[in-house]
Chain A
Amino acid sequence: MTHEPTIYELSQPGRIGTNLPSLDVPKSDPLPADMLRTELMLPEVSELEVIRHFVRLSQLNYAIDKGFYPLGSCTMKYNPKINEDVARYEGFAGLHPLTDEAGAQGALALMYQLQQWLAEVSGLNAVSLHPAAGAHGEFAGILMIRKYHIDRGEPQRTKILVPDSAHGTNPATVTMAGLSVIELPADDKGDVDIEALKKVCEGPERDNIAGMMITVPSTLGLFERGILKIVELVHNAGGLMYMDGANMNALMGVVKPGALGFDVMHYNLHKTFSTPHGGGGPGSGAVGVNEKLKPFLPAPHVDIVEPGTDEEAPLYGFVTPEKSIGRLKAFHGNFGMHTRAYSYIRAYGGEGLHQVSRHAVLNANYIRVGLSDTYTVPYDRACGHEFVIEGHFEGVEKVHALDISKRLMDYGYHPPTNYFPLIVPEALLIEPTETETKETLDQFIAAMKKIAQEAKENPELLLSAPHKTPVSRLDEVRAAKQLVLCCAPLLKDT
């Protein structure tokens, strides 16, 4: 693969990649010269050069549309193409966010219906589509828990329990909300250590517990066997239960978090409901709550403001819940993601969503069993939609999980998640999702086995991998030490 110049290196003074309407009104007096800029460091390129540049860049990417992407915890399932079409309908793409409610009934009705369906999937009472990403949803959830306790006259409840296997966003969210973390260990079976939890919930911190954040299934891909006990212990201490819904792809039609006793959760629409994540975003982090937390939902929130009749549809509008934590972003959430999630739910229906989770779990267990004689599977029991293996081999100490990942690229796969969860040494977290065929899974298992063999016979092959990618292994330390964060200085003199 040839090296792709930066767009600034392609720039030639005087070129332009588009044309604009000519000025059809009389010119006005210009602004005073001291308000105007003299330099504008943007590249100058023709349309064809722009297209070729970004098409060539696209070809340097690995993506779901190119191959298997078993990136644990990220749920990289197929993004149906119809979803992209509907999100681009002019009536959605060209709708101003401050359109009067009467002129936005289509968008509001869609949001309302999606809220209802997400509530149904989770067994919770109300859903807000306002947060822009999973971590944003977490933040909304923890702020609601905080405000709930303040509202009840218990402002000293500032501690949130977080298992040590949790996503890094969980403890960071707690800090952002002005609360603090009590970390909980996992037991040797990968479940939360109930005895340790009991000690905290019945110990001196009891009255300071605001709640607990837990991922179900856990980041180890395991369903907490003690979940009902955990919920009971935290509730008895006066805390609320937050579910990190990153792994909801394993739960649809399997169990409803609301029924387990969770008070609040977020959904990652870009994971479970297939909205594309575009190389890092956008996401959408809807939050669901039970009756207790409903008054605290972020604003705005779509609701029926005038009931419908037999002849007429109800009137939908934005409302601010009574004790709302407030607004977390401008406007109403990532609406473009709502249209895609809606389309996805419509494509499956209730029974279909339940099949999604069953097949996601089937696929994960199939690979787990397929690899268990070659790799160490630290928690060797039926997993959820993902599972963790240890990426190292006895007798070949210099080969690490990262080397296995890099070698996998040579076989045409995106590697699993590396070094997460933190509590498993050399962790590789594998999540196939339900949209992959048995043949794909078989080929992946074969590649992983081949790599295990290579590690023992020719470890250099792994240590020097990848060999077939556009660039070879990167010097990440140099990037941090000799910071080069933009190419503007390369702009040719104009």
Chain B
Amino acid sequence: MKNILIKNGCLVDPIAGTEQVADLYLAGGKIAAVGAAPVGFTVDETIDATGLIVAPGLVDLAARLREPGFEYKATLKSEMAAAAAGGVTSVVCPPDTDPVLDESGLVTNLRQRAKNLDLARLYPVGALTVGLKGKEITEMAMLKEAGCVAFSQGDVPIADLQVLYRAMLYAANFGFELRLRPEEASLVNDGVAHDGPYASRLGLTGIPVIAETIAVAQIVQLMRATGCRVHLARMSSAAGLDLVRAAKAEGLPLTCDVSINHIHLADIDIGFFDSQYRFDPPLRAVADRDAIVKALNDGTIDAICSDHSPVDDDGKLLPFAQAERGATGLELLLPLTLKWASSQHISLPQALAKISSVPAKMLGFDAGLAVGNRADLVLFDAKAHWQVIPERLKSQGKNTPFIGHEMLGKVKYTVVKGKVIFG
């Protein structure tokens, strides 16, 4: 393993909350020193980071890699390369593959294949119920042993509260965390867009905000009853966030995230049925988007995820209601987070915390620049502009509402375990 000197970069540490121009020394896959070289350090490789931000690698809490089962949309290889290009060093993937990640052997296999690629670290989330069918709970302890960091239903809600109740009791038994997307399926029905004046105007079937709030309220009640730790994935509404805020104030072990898309977009952006704007949960009203930004600023929302969902063109060239949901996001996580931070005058350490140190803490490690920490880093030019051109994205999924948009913040190098994997 090479000893690397990252010279003259602006080190941004989201845990310490500091920004300083200094040299960084990497050895043995860890941060060996900051500022001056450790005694006896021999430099094998030097990266000139003058003018670049050097920060902990990004930790993405939700990225679908589509493998196994949906290789026509994307592969582990293509999406891990996209992660590297996006500065993402730790990827958390939901269990909604085919087959579903509901057996330890599948998890071991996936992790091994990811390891062979030698790119970002992969953190699978195990299925909470067998086949995500919402009937029987999975062998959580065995899945945990195989490397699952938490358990979730992906985007398939559990219809039977009894099952969810038991699952939470069982998970609480071991201190496992559940990642739940709060959505009451019966209120979604056949909805495809936020239930508001814009969907009414377009004649699109609405998904009401209560589909989210009722689910959050139920989950909070179940948390009180079971003591289970829960992370709510991809919050979308002001009212839902109010419930999260109250639950957190009560001291419940609840965290939540939001997708990069929901920070910047609202239902009115759908325009004339543009399927690039079809998401799950739907893009909600402008007031909800503003509440998301506020909740990010005040800490109610802990983390930002890419909600990376590679979709092929065939999945998008359909009437809005039939079009596949989601967008590519791994390569947009950093610039869209920086865009939020810039518009809200959030400091760089605080902004990066949402996509590195906070989600890392949920995975059980420290993503800071302290000596001894993992040498998982992203080096980026915070002043570089670039345009989102689908063909230039590494992800096999080329669809995003941000096609053609100008981004600020370009990844130059990505380092994982002390090795440059991009740049």
Q: Do A and B bind each other?
A: no
